[in-house]
Structure 1
């Protein structure tokens, strides 16, 4: 039984990797797409920005729409759509066709994530839910950190069609795993739309949302310019930057699991401590970033702490809406994307106006805001209520 649950969690995580790779992996083949369809780089980039915009806007509403459907059916159906979408993308005859077949599954992206988090957490005892979530987040980590270089490599070495077919195969394998290992999970206690939306009336939830949004903004205001920093400040070559990205991603997998263990032991202390730890790393990046060897060590630690922030912010946000776990997860997906957008925008402003070396301070600024939201939440509403992990 334990082995079957492990396979179930990894099947869900593989689906998360595939969907994340579909979202961000295309960045690595945008030049090939632009060349094939004879369009500019900015127009090709719309394939990324429009996908993210649809996720941010539609997430909670799409999750509400499917909230009464059997979780196994939802996960399997979304993977079928993504499998077909990538298959059609491989043979798209024009840019407009590619845009359409790519954007349709974007509406279902937050639905899969919301249900996947809830299904993984509910498949194990409550005290193990953080570790189950960490395994799912591993798929997100690998997809976000390695999706771009993997897709870029396949596109360069083989073809654009092969890159899309790779994503299609990943989704198909995950679909097979879901069908085999996930038991039927009908919704036994369906909440009305009104009751699910009612969680939005809780001021403490909005403080949690603000903190999670700021944490994600802090993460990506610096990470989005990872390569730029290493090339300009540290003086690394393009090849070394690629190696650093791999190290960053590998340590991130370990960081997911460690963050989950800390959350299981003491959620409150972990959430309070996280901005302080990440802030200390940003300070090290600023003061030691021009030295290759220290920076290489920092990157390994940074990768672990970075990915830990994903599960920390998700746990913090959803802890205040445990009565509507899937809707809460959809809020995390939507506001997480909003945080990423805000963070990369401010980080870009810091880079252009103040120089690459000061980029770390944009991350520190968001961490200060996150800590203020966390502190205010605890001061106004206490540190006991709302810190349980959602497992329903």
Structure 2
């Protein structure tokens, strides 16, 4: 039933609003606490680093619990974080309270995907996953730009009020719609860890890492980039975020359909944005209309990145969906950390206008990983390919 996928999507909106809602208000936070923009970026990079370091372990630890209770526990922590953050605590406390939900974020995502896929069949698995992942695009078109807009009208604390409201709605949706879902057959930790010995899975993980690093080396500083490189005020930035998310919503739906036909070609198509977008941003200069068009293309090619990364990794180990997805979430967020940190360093040393070229470097590395995996799969024997790969990757 698609109903379960939509509930997972609703919770995903709350998760993404909390993690990425700060992107549009980093300049205001930096001003409030009188710190540099790269230090304010710690709010994003530290969150992502906790996910990267603890995600797989937390997923394994929680794999035997009732799935509904796991999702409720995760959303509850996100709600508490939003409430505390809205009171503008000291910066060290703001960082600390943002780290708490990071421990359960990959658990929520892996569980929501497992719940959605368990109600479907093999033919529409990727489509159900795309529904859950559309929560990313929905957040980008609704709650994230709304939070940025309210922050530009009033103060940055209102962004966290939006996050609290969204988390509350998600909690109620999960509580009243999902039935109790105890795990009938718990897989042993050893059987799940076996995927770490498969070369194609390891290479797919590296591709995910570099792809997300590519996007977030610039996207993490979206507001600051548009402020200083494209001369837009905070209200215009909120409009750009709205456009970014609106286009991304369509992209996620299209990507779900495309992934059902070919995982590799779809991933490569959207990954091409890491090369194309920086070039277009460079040539758009200070022209607002040209920049608007580029941001629309950017939103389209960026939006399905987490869906593509997870599907690409899972396609090499299709029988280990939950653990493989937790690793996808972990290494994706490690990519967020690297991209944000590298972007912050470039801003501090060269200026925000140079961050898109980091996207090109990391994007090229991601394409190299895809080429390496394809080479290994072509080189293996027919029987090995059948056991190690998913049939729709070519």
Question: What is the distance in 1 between the residues matched to 2:61 and 2:71?
Answer: 14
Question: What is the distance in 2 between the residues matched to 1:348 and 1:48?
Answer: 11
The equivalent residue for 2:390 is: 387
Contact 2:137 2:246 in 1 (8 A): no
Question: What is the distance in 1 between the residues matched to 2:319 and 2:243?
Answer: 39
The equivalent residue for 1:55 is: 51
SS of the residue aligned with 1:323? Answer: coil
Question: What is the distance in 2 between the residues matched to 1:28 and 1:368?
Answer: 27
Contact 1:130 1:389 in 2 (8 A): no
Name the CA shift for 1:302/1:154 in 2 (closer, same or farther; >3 Å). Answer: closer
Contact 1:286 1:358 in 2 (8 A): no
Following superposition of structure 1 onto structure 2, how do residues 240-389 of structure 1 map, counting pairs within 5 Å? 240-351=236-347, 357-382=353-378, 385-387=388-390
1:278 is displaced (CA, Å) by 4.2
1:195 aligns with 2:161: no
TM-score normalised to structure 1 length:
0.84
1:371 is displaced (CA, Å) by 1.2
SS of the residue aligned with 2:181? Answer: coil
Question: What is the distance in 1 between the residues matched to 2:179 and 2:298?
Answer: 37
1:15 is displaced (CA, Å) by 1.1
Q: Which runs of 5+ in 1 are unaligned?
A: none
Moved more, 206-215 or 189-198: 189-198
Q: Which runs of 5+ in 2 are unaligned?
A: 379-384
The equivalent residue for 1:23 is: 19
Name the CA shift for 1:76/1:358 in 2 (closer, same or farther; >3 Å). Answer: closer
Question: What is the distance in 2 between the residues matched to 1:52 and 1:340?
Answer: 6
The equivalent residue for 1:134 is: 130
Question: What is the distance in 2 between the residues matched to 1:19 and 1:126?
Answer: 27
1:88 is displaced (CA, Å) by 5.1
Contact 2:45 2:336 in 1 (8 A): no
Moved more, 345-354 or 173-182: 345-354
Following superposition of structure 1 onto structure 2, how do residues 38-77 of structure 1 map, counting pairs within 5 Å? 40-41=34-35, 47-77=43-73
Question: What is the distance in 1 between the residues matched to 2:270 and 2:40?
Answer: 36
Moved more, 40-49 or 327-336: 40-49
Contact 1:20 1:147 in 2 (8 A): no
TM-score normalised to structure 2 length:
0.83
Name the CA shift for 1:317/1:289 in 2 (closer, same or farther; >3 Å). Answer: farther
1:127 is displaced (CA, Å) by 2.1
Name the CA shift for 1:162/1:222 in 2 (closer, same or farther; >3 Å). Answer: closer
The equivalent residue for 1:206 is: 202
1:121 aligns with 2:117: yes
Contact 2:23 2:220 in 1 (8 A): no
1:175 is displaced (CA, Å) by 2.2
Question: What is the distance in 2 between the residues matched to 1:354 and 1:46?
Answer: 19
Name the CA shift for 1:82/1:194 in 2 (closer, same or farther; >3 Å). Answer: same
| 1:45-102 deviation per Cα after TM superposition (whole angstroms, max 9, x unaligned) | 6554443332221111111101112222211222233334444555698767666554
Question: What is the distance in 2 between the residues matched to 1:86 and 1:322?
Answer: 35
| 1:233-255 deviation per Cα after TM superposition (whole angstroms, max 9, x unaligned) | 44445443332222111101111
The equivalent residue for 2:382 is: none
1:12 aligns with 2:8: yes
| 1:171-199 deviation per Cα after TM superposition (whole angstroms, max 9, x unaligned) | 23222222333233332331111111221
Name the CA shift for 1:213/1:283 in 2 (closer, same or farther; >3 Å). Answer: same
SS of the residue aligned with 1:175? Answer: helix
1:333 is displaced (CA, Å) by 1.4
